[in-house]
Amino acid sequence: MDVVIVDDEPLARDRLKRMLADEPDFRVVAEVSSGDRVMAAVMEHDPDIVLLDIHMPGESGLLAAQQLVDLEDPPAVIFCTAYEQHALEAFGVNAVDYLLKPVRKEKLLAAMQQACNLNKAQRQTLNQGSEGRPHISARTRRGVELIPIEQIHFFAADHKYVTVYHREGETLIDDTLKELEQSLGERFVRVHRNALVALNRIEAMEKGANGQFVLRLTGTQQRPVVSRRHVAALRQLLTGAAAP
């Protein structure tokens, strides 16, 4: 599980890193010293868990957590703070746990394991839903264009826009990935915070030269990137799909 540590005190960040250094299930991928840099770190590293202080220069940890909650595929948040009076507010932004400094290793690991269990539960429900709609509609220069679901390779989000990659090319649409994931049922699978892929288009998941996993799809040369946090669940899903 990839972890981002957010704290304005270098000693506090180092202490958390030392606690996780010998834990093979957790890997610290980034450190952030202020709340207003949290979103950029999450978008770059796509972590499973964020260890977040509350009182920091600039944006508070609570505000940063609220912005994370609004993401379509948010990481788990564990607050690590010296201020106990914000506990109720913390759980109001769906924090997994609220640990008071000095954080004890056993409590940290228990909270991290709880975050792992939540992520597993989320992955188990990733593809639940109805068969959903038969096509995607898009407003283009030619008017409303209907794109049949069976012609779609994958959807990719870039800030406020979502592009659908399909047999006839690429088209911008108004739907969010979250809306698409809910309405398309088990035919599509989330492989990254910014990508939703047609399950029946996946030929293989391969590891690139830079260490990232990518998908080889039928009908397109595009290679969607698979986030580290989705690799295990996708591998299990593809193994199950290939089983007789």
State pLDDT tens for residues 143-159: 667 888 989 999 999 87
Of the candidate ranges 105-109, 124-128, 194-198, the one whose mean pLDDT is the lowest: 124-128
Q: Report the CATH number at residue 201.
A: 2.40.50.1020
Domain range holding 228? 135-242
Please say if the pLDDT value at position 79 is more than 70.
yes
Q: How many domains does one find in the chain?
A: 2
Question: Would you say residue 130 lies in a domain?
Answer: no
Task: Kindly state the average pLDDT of the residues 42-61.
Answer: 90
Of 101, 124, 147, the residue at which a domain comes to its end is 124
Q: Mean pLDDT lowest for which of 108-112, 115-119, 228-232?
A: 115-119
Residue 137, number of CB atoms within 10 A of its CB: 12
Report residue 165's pLDDT band, with 50, 70 and 90 as the boundaries. Answer: very high
Of 193, 206, 205, 196, whose CA–CA distance to 173 is shortest?
A: 196
Query: Are the CB atoms for 111 and 98 separated by under 8 Å?
Result: no
pLDDT digits (tens, 9 = 90+) for 22-37: 999 999 999 999 989 9
Q: Same structural domain for residues 141 and 205? A: yes
Whether 129 maps to a domain, the answer reads: no
CB contact at 8 A, 197 and 224? yes
State the number of CA atoms in the 13 A half-sphere of 43 facing the CB. Answer: 12
Q: Are residues 139 and 178 in the same domain?
A: yes
Domain end call among 124, 143, 168: 124
- Mean of pLDDT values over 92-115: 88
Average pLDDT over residues 163-179: 91
